[in-house]
Amino acid sequence: MEKNWVKIFSSSNFYQSEIVKQVLIRHHIDTVLLNKQDSSHRAFGDIEVYIHQEDFSKAIEIMILNQISL
């Protein structure tokens, strides 16, 4: 992954991370999901959502307005 990416959200449920990603994309924020779950046992690890560092404040504001828990 390139420099200047920051984690903004993490969940053990894929669908929650995907919802966050889609909300941010809808607001023109580049987003990447990083799956850190164990491939054989999904109970271990998280799906992390990353954005560019310069979009951090805007993304937090969007998440608050959309009532996404941080």
At 44 the pLDDT is: 80
Whether 70 has a pLDDT exceeding 70, the answer reads no
CATH of the domain at 11: 3.30.70.1530
| Residue-level pLDDT at 42 | 61
Task: Please give the pLDDT value at position 47.
Answer: 92
How many whole angstroms separate alpha carbon 63 and alpha carbon 19? 11
- Of 24, 32, 25, the residue nearest 66 (C-alpha): 24
Q: Confirm if 17 and 42 have CB atoms less than 8 A apart.
A: no
- The domain total for the chain is 1
Does residue 22 sit within a domain? yes
SS3 assignment for 2-59: CCCEEEEEEECCHHHHHHHHHHHHHCCCCEEEEECCCCCCCCCCCEEEEEEHHHHHHH
| Domain housing 12 | 5-65
In this prediction the pTM is: 0.85
Structural domain contains residue 61? yes
43-64 residue pLDDT tens? 688 999 999 999 999 999 999 9
Q: Does some domain include residue 70?
A: no
